[in-house]
Structure 1
Amino acid sequence: MQKIKTALLSYGMSGKVFHAPFLAIHPGFELLGSWERSKKLIQADYPNVKSYPSIEDLLADDVDLVIVNTPVDTHFEYAKKVLLAGKHAVVEKAFTTTVAQAEELASIAKEKGLKLVVFQNRRWDSDFKTVQKILKEGVLGDLVEAEFHFDRYTPLLSPKVHKETVNDGAGILKDLGPHLIDQALCLFGSPKAVFADIRITREHSLVDDWIDLSLIYDDFRVRLKAGFFVREANPAYTLHGKKGSFLKPRGDVQEDDLKLSKIPNLDTWGAESESLQGLLHTEIDGKIVKEKTPTLQGNYYDFFDGVYYAIINNTVEPVTAQDGVKVMKIIEAAIASHAQQKVINL
């Protein structure tokens, strides 16, 4: 199997938890190492890889693919350097800080014939895959409304300075917002308009930490919410159609398992507890059904598998640069909507 030589731009939480484990088990990738600024940690986990002292040293190496997993406000600068150096790139969410930046990166990648992928891993969450299946089966009838939540109870400020200082990439809209927005666009396509409310709720916070976005479609509405003061969680996904409803708690176990240093596999990985199954209450063939629905298996391995074949076979990326542009358009519209207190047409 042809190997794609891959390097990370940081080995903090995202590199250690979300990327390196899958690059290590996938037979199509060779993890070369990571750029490490102060703490030199990657060789403790992967003794045979390199710790690069600078991005220039990393790009000068025989690298095919670079994972841009640095703070959001650096994504554009670093991804542009990676592409101009002739390397394929996977860029963490939020893709960039503006639509213009996202479009420029997409243009560079196209011009150079490179693959540019946005790391929207939550498309491969068990709960989202199950929602996707329910909608595809049409058992709810015509959709009337949907509400997605990414809720936490974390009233204290993050120790990560870049998350709590005022910069173009900080705030929950560009942290958890891209997950919710990308999932909505993946299911329903782009809306015709956006209305948003963005707040600061934590004491001493300098960045937004609560969002309520309404995506306006012709025949239905989608509401996206995230905040840090939800001790008792709402359903992560609530969908109401003209025949019935589906409610699903957030249940994907992958992040928690990865943080415990569990090694991903292709068999049992990403399997939720039965207690977190979604509730389907609808009408099927004239019969009222109210029952728990088995949850599909989640697996971020499938994202990396998609990246591999996109590069090797020149197929479409699992999450394209244009997908990233579309998410950024919603984010920019949300910022404008909040500032002007009005609906923004797209």
Structure 2
Amino acid sequence: MASVTAPIRVGLIGYGYAGKTFHAPLIRAVPALDLRLVASRDKAKVQADLPGMRVIADPGAVAASDSVDLVVIASPNDTHAPLARIALAAGKHVVIDKPFTLDLAEARSLVALARRHGRRLSVFHNRRWDSDFLSVRTAIADGVIGKVRHFESHFDRFRPGVRDRWREGAGPGSGIWYDLGPHLVDQALQLFGLPDRVTANLARLRKGALSDDWAHVVLDYPDVRVVLHASMVVAGGSPRFVVHGEGGSLVKQHLDGQEQQLLAGMAPGAPGWGQDSDGIAVHDGRGSVRRLPALAGDQRRFYQDVAHGISRGAVDHTPALEALQVMACIDAALTSARTGTTVALPLVPEERSASQFAEDDLASPHV
């Protein structure tokens, strides 16, 4: 595939919470990307933030538009796969907000379509560039607590009242596991690779809840257990990360602050962007505790990587396969919660190796 001359023209589908808060500001903060077009039924809302922006009500028209090279899909979860099919068939590169799709079968079909058309397909796993995760990942890699045996990741919020929005409704793709589970799973896979088995418990704990608002999922590895937890009824007190190793324990108390910075109107890259004053507590097992400073986060790196990949010309399908692996874990957890069983990941050998997938694909011509 020929390289795309910068700036890469971008069409954004959806200007709800994700599109407005995350995608639009991060896209506009990357010089190699040029946000040209937004799909929204609320033109005034878009243009209040983005004066002069071209706004189209029909998301399918944006997905197939000749005026864009990259389509970013930040619409409700059940529209992800249909819109991505339109965009890929029209020869566009695609970024999909998490979750990738509603199930593994849809994810597989999109990966195959991206390969056939020789286009880059990525899922917005922006939390790889959060200060909390980067800090813990670096401490683990540096051997601060030796071999990890227990890893616990919480994404908890305090929203005791059920809100009238599709994410908390009864429709397909709703609920906390589809919403926050992809972040938790993707970070775990970045650290430990694919688990052998998944065991999950999903629940509706709030009065009037229409979809799961509590999730507790355990990933089994040969010599480590990973606990992923998300809840809407936690007012405080639960750490973001707890990691136990043979040489001690790590505790990272608070969540990365970039989302709050974006909500406050801070431009990505402005002074103070991604800074985190909440360091990591390191317990040595003998009663001593020391603190490591937190690294800065920078979610712009997601779109910087996307722009770099598209500009290079050769399509790396590793991001698509990594997203498919996350979807396999999401699917397995849903099956486990429904059946009360522990579930192995239903992946074929090719799908288990991101590097092999990329090498095989780049060795063959694209259609």
TM-score range, shorter chain: over 0.9
1:310 maps to amino acid: G
- Equivalent runs, 1:266-345 vs 2, <5 Å: 268-273=272-277, 276-282=278-284, 290-314=289-313, 320-345=319-344
Aligned equivalent of 2:262, options 258, 268, 274: 258
The residue that corresponds to 2:35 in the other structure is 31
The residue that corresponds to 1:4 in the other structure is 8
Q: State the distance in 2 between where 1:110 and 1:194 align.
A: 29
- Equivalent runs, 1:114-263 vs 2, <5 Å: 114-160=119-165, 162-263=166-267
Residue 318 of structure 1: CA displacement? Answer: 9.9
Residue 210 of structure 1: CA displacement? Answer: 0.4
Residue 39 of structure 1: CA displacement? Answer: 4.9
Residue 164 of structure 1: CA displacement? Answer: 2.5
- Secondary structure of the 1:339 match is helix
- Seen in structure 2, the aligned counterparts of structure 1 residues 207 and 13 have a Cα distance that, compared at 3 Å, is same
Percent identity for Structure 1 against Structure 2: 37
- Seen in structure 2, the aligned counterparts of structure 1 residues 106 and 71 have a Cα distance that, compared at 3 Å, is same
Q: State the distance in 1 between where 2:315 and 2:190 align.
A: 15
- Seen in structure 2, the aligned counterparts of structure 1 residues 279 and 325 have a Cα distance that, compared at 3 Å, is same
Aligned equivalent of 2:107, options 86, 102, 110: 102
Give yes or no for contact 1:3–1:29 (8 Å, CA) kept in 2: yes
- Seen in structure 2, the aligned counterparts of structure 1 residues 124 and 17 have a Cα distance that, compared at 3 Å, is same
Q: State the distance in 2 between where 1:194 and 1:179 align.
A: 16
The runs of 5 or more residues in structure 1 that have no matched partner are none
Aligned equivalent of 2:68, options 54, 63, 69: 63
Q: State the distance in 1 between where 2:47 and 2:284 align.
A: 53
- Seen in structure 2, the aligned counterparts of structure 1 residues 221 and 157 have a Cα distance that, compared at 3 Å, is same
2:74 maps to amino acid: N
Q: State the distance in 2 between where 1:200 and 1:296 align.
A: 35
Which 10-residue stretch deviates more, 244-253 or 115-124?
244-253
Q: State the distance in 2 between where 1:328 and 1:3 align.
A: 31
Q: State the distance in 2 between where 1:309 and 1:220 align.
A: 35
Residue 233 of structure 1: CA displacement? Answer: 3.0
Give yes or no for contact 2:119–2:315 (8 Å, CA) kept in 1: no
Runs of 4+ with deviation above 3 angstroms? 314-319
* Deviation string, structure 1 residues 2-61 (Cα, Å, up to 9, x no partner): 210001101122111101112222210111020112453222222232001313432233
- Seen in structure 2, the aligned counterparts of structure 1 residues 202 and 298 have a Cα distance that, compared at 3 Å, is same
* Deviation string, structure 1 residues 185-236 (Cα, Å, up to 9, x no partner): 1110010001111101010111011010010000010000001111123111
Which 10-residue stretch deviates more, 162-171 or 92-101?
162-171
The runs of 5 or more residues in structure 2 that have no matched partner are 346-367
Give the count of matched residue pairs: 340
- Secondary structure of the 2:179 match is coil
Give yes or no for contact 2:240–2:252 (8 Å, CA) kept in 1: yes
Residue 345 of structure 1: CA displacement? Answer: 2.1
2:108 maps to amino acid: E
* Deviation string, structure 1 residues 268-301 (Cα, Å, up to 9, x no partner): 310012xx21101238xxx996211110010111
Residue 76 of structure 1: CA displacement? Answer: 0.7
* Deviation string, structure 1 residues 161-191 (Cα, Å, up to 9, x no partner): x123222200111001111011101110010
Q: State the distance in 1 between where 2:84 and 2:254 align.
A: 31
Q: State the distance in 1 between where 2:123 and 2:54 align.
A: 24
Q: State the distance in 1 between where 2:149 and 2:317 align.
A: 29
Q: State the distance in 1 between where 2:110 and 2:271 align.
A: 36
Give yes or no for contact 1:118–1:319 (8 Å, CA) kept in 2: no
Q: State the distance in 1 between where 2:231 and 2:290 align.
A: 30
- Seen in structure 2, the aligned counterparts of structure 1 residues 289 and 111 have a Cα distance that, compared at 3 Å, is farther
- Equivalent runs, 1:3-22 vs 2, <5 Å: 3-22=7-26
Give yes or no for contact 2:256–2:297 (8 Å, CA) kept in 1: yes
- Secondary structure of the 1:208 match is coil
Give yes or no for contact 2:127–2:133 (8 Å, CA) kept in 1: yes
- Seen in structure 2, the aligned counterparts of structure 1 residues 85 and 171 have a Cα distance that, compared at 3 Å, is same
Give yes or no for contact 1:66–1:82 (8 Å, CA) kept in 2: yes
The alignment's TM-score, normalised by the length of structure 2, stands at 0.88
Q: State the distance in 1 between where 2:220 and 2:132 align.
A: 23
Give yes or no for contact 2:73–2:84 (8 Å, CA) kept in 1: yes
Give yes or no for contact 1:303–1:318 (8 Å, CA) kept in 2: no
